[in-house]
Structure 1
Amino acid sequence: MEDLKAFLKDALKKMSESFGIPGYEDGIRATIIELMKPFVDEIKVDKLGNIIGVLHGKSEKPKIMIAAHMDQIGFLVKHIDEKGFLRLTPVGGWDARTLLNVRVKILTKDGKFVHGIIGSKPPHILKEEEKSKPITIDDLFVDVGATKKEDVEKLGIRVGSPVILDFNFIELPNDRVSGLAFDDRSGVAVMLGALKLLSEEKDKIEGTVYAVATVQEEVGLRGARTSAFSVNPDVGIAIDVTIAADVPGVGDQDKITELGKGPAITIMDA
């Protein structure tokens, strides 16, 4: 069990530190392929970019598909002003309250990263009506240290360049960790952990296991749809994250999940 725990932590760290917003999953895809290789008989990458790992058991049927998405929420650069500030458009769902003064990484056309900081109008000069207004992504900008638009372009940043937050993976007490893109790299880690255990007893598997790391979930479940048609499983299991509701401010009636108390099984969409 300690061996499995160490593997899961290492896998989650590697995936958390890999780049991969929808449509730009090359980095995270390469990471997952390397992690998956030891536990499957074959790996395919379909035309959309889904990874399909196949573990053969004693029989072809039933076909069991386990799926977790590899992509993460992020942004695209939508505008660069004359002073070199960037404006962003979201890719996936964001709460703008979480974005003030955080670091970001912009992937350039040369495959390098440029670091920046998300800023907003200083609170000291906000008008009274602005102070009570909810902040939106349109209120935010990214400062990459440029003084003019040409500086930004020389860095390799263009309109359409992908952007993610810049957070380090850290270990906390009580076997807890924190990092970026646990939605749904933690789900992929669970899938890889299951593969590791299954591969050690593959002679007992009745059927064929298809482990699928899907793309573009954050913009409409695109990879899940195409891979499900491709695999055509008899049984499908989707692994994703949910809210840990055991935090201050959440009433007992809403505490349907607690961190460390096991998996949650969906019975309906909220």
Structure 2
Amino acid sequence: MEKSEFLEQLKELAAIQGAPGQEMNVVQKLVELFKPYADQVEVDHMGNLYAYMKGKKPGPTVMVSAHSDEIGCVVRDIDDRGFLKIERTGGMIESLLIGRKVNVNGHFGVVGVKAGHLQTPEERKRIPSIYELYIDVGAQSREEVHQLGIQIGDPITYISEIEQFTNSELICGKAIDNRSCCILLLQLFKALHSERDFSGTLVGVVAVQEEVGLRGAKVATYKVNPDYAIVLDTIPCADTPDSLNSGYPIGIGRGPVIPALAGGSIRGNLMSPQFKQLLIRYATELDIPYQLAVMTGATTDLAAVHIEREGVLAGAITFARRYSHSPVEVAHLRDFEQGFTLLTKLITDIDNWGDLGFIK
């Protein structure tokens, strides 16, 4: 994988607005990107993208998935003066919204902030709820907002382009969760399409609505009915001063993360021990550093994938990100490069996975 190409494609894809349930522009771009490398590309009525590739020999169907949506909001109301009230879709954090530039269905806007000169001492100490926040799109009335083409239910996302730190492989911006893994999946198809040096059928899935309940992944897994599945996603880390003593020793630049447990209670996943050991085995053989994680506060599409139909033997390869669900998510390019190497080896060596039964 060429890191420079990965970064340029990520910059382009992350800049496209794709809030949950309204990922159509992201999906349209991905269809264009996957077509040169896949045997077939299709999109279902939800917006899930499926890219198919046949290997040289017969074998199992392996689904590798990422999700296309980013955290966002929608327009909840429009007042007489043209200000927009909002509702969240996904893990938007009120304290990070205040004073931000946002994209409102393709139009520039800002999240308003009461001037400090007018705030009381009490107001300076509290964070307004999302129902107190509002967006200014430069309109003077509800009618002007409608003339812009903005309606109730329209998507709102951060404006924050992907940038690279000086003399570093660290990158920063919005929607690294999870456009980074969409591009990683694209790079896998690019690497395999000429030689087809693997057995079976590879199905690349880009699922919608992960941020609001893993909805697209459930539908996609039912459709594909894979023998095995690998979910690609980013995962929160704890390597900054405010989280070093959290008991969650995951950091950027330390290699891919294998989430042994992700998500609490019903909406979570305990990775099957046989798949966890498979990932560890290949990472060790390739001399790729890896991190094992137990993270109850976050989950991935794996939580939906592994319980579809009669149950799917599945695992996840994830990538640490700082400042999760913010406009300044930070990740390390080397982690994605190593994850790509691990993923490619897994797919091309599937004949040697061995017995993955629950009992031997």
Match of 2:175 in 1: 181
CA distance in 1: counterparts of 2:186 and 2:83, whole angstroms:
40
- Which of 80, 93, 96 matches 2:94? 96
Per the TM alignment, residue 177 of structure 1 is displaced from its structure 2 partner at its CA by 2.1
Match of 1:141 in 2: 134
Per the TM alignment, residue 155 of structure 1 is displaced from its structure 2 partner at its CA by 1.4
Relative contact order: is structure 1 or structure 2 higher (C-alpha 8 Å, sep ≥ 6)?
1
Once the two structures are overlaid, the 10-residue window that deviates more, 6-15 or 87-96, is 6-15
Matches within 5 A, 1:197-236: 197-202=191-196, 204-236=197-229
Task: State the SS of the aligned residue for 1:267.
Answer: strand
Count residues in correspondence: 262
Match of 1:254 in 2: 247
Give the TM-score taking structure 2 as reference length.
0.69
CA distance in 1: counterparts of 2:253 and 2:35, whole angstroms:
29
Contact 1:120/1:139 (8 A) holds in 2? no
Counterpart amino acid of 1:91?
A: T
Counterpart amino acid of 1:119?
A: G
Match of 1:119 in 2: 112
Per the TM alignment, residue 243 of structure 1 is displaced from its structure 2 partner at its CA by 1.5
Per the TM alignment, residue 211 of structure 1 is displaced from its structure 2 partner at its CA by 0.5
Contact 1:44/1:51 (8 A) holds in 2? yes
- Which of 245, 249, 257 matches 2:238? 245
Contact 2:53/2:202 (8 A) holds in 1? yes
- Which of 177, 184, 194 matches 1:190? 184
Counterpart amino acid of 1:48?
A: M
1:167–1:199 CA distance, 2 compared to 1 (3 A): same
Per the TM alignment, residue 132 of structure 1 is displaced from its structure 2 partner at its CA by 3.1
Per the TM alignment, residue 60 of structure 1 is displaced from its structure 2 partner at its CA by 4.1
Counterpart amino acid of 2:5?
A: F
Deviations 1:35-86 (A, max 9, x none): 2122211111122211110110023431000010001111111111111111
Match of 2:69 in 1: 71
CA distance in 2: counterparts of 1:60 and 1:99, whole angstroms:
50
1:163–1:253 CA distance, 2 compared to 1 (3 A): closer
Segments of 5+ residues of structure 2 without an aligned counterpart are 263-295, 297-360
CA distance in 1: counterparts of 2:66 and 2:58, whole angstroms:
22
- Which of 8, 13, 29 matches 1:10? 8
Deviations 1:166-220 (A, max 9, x none): 1122222312222221111011122122222222431x20111100001111111
CA distance in 1: counterparts of 2:69 and 2:182, whole angstroms:
10
- Which of 56, 59, 71 matches 1:58? 56
1:60–1:24 CA distance, 2 compared to 1 (3 A): farther
Match of 1:110 in 2: none
Task: State the SS of the aligned residue for 1:131.
Answer: helix
Counterpart amino acid of 2:179?
A: R
Match of 1:85 in 2: 83
- Which of 153, 156, 160 matches 2:153? 160
Task: State the SS of the aligned residue for 1:54.
Answer: strand
Counterpart amino acid of 2:113?
A: S
CA distance in 2: counterparts of 1:27 and 1:195, whole angstroms:
21
Per the TM alignment, residue 222 of structure 1 is displaced from its structure 2 partner at its CA by 1.1
Per the TM alignment, residue 90 of structure 1 is displaced from its structure 2 partner at its CA by 0.7
Segments of 5+ residues of structure 1 without an aligned counterpart are 108-112
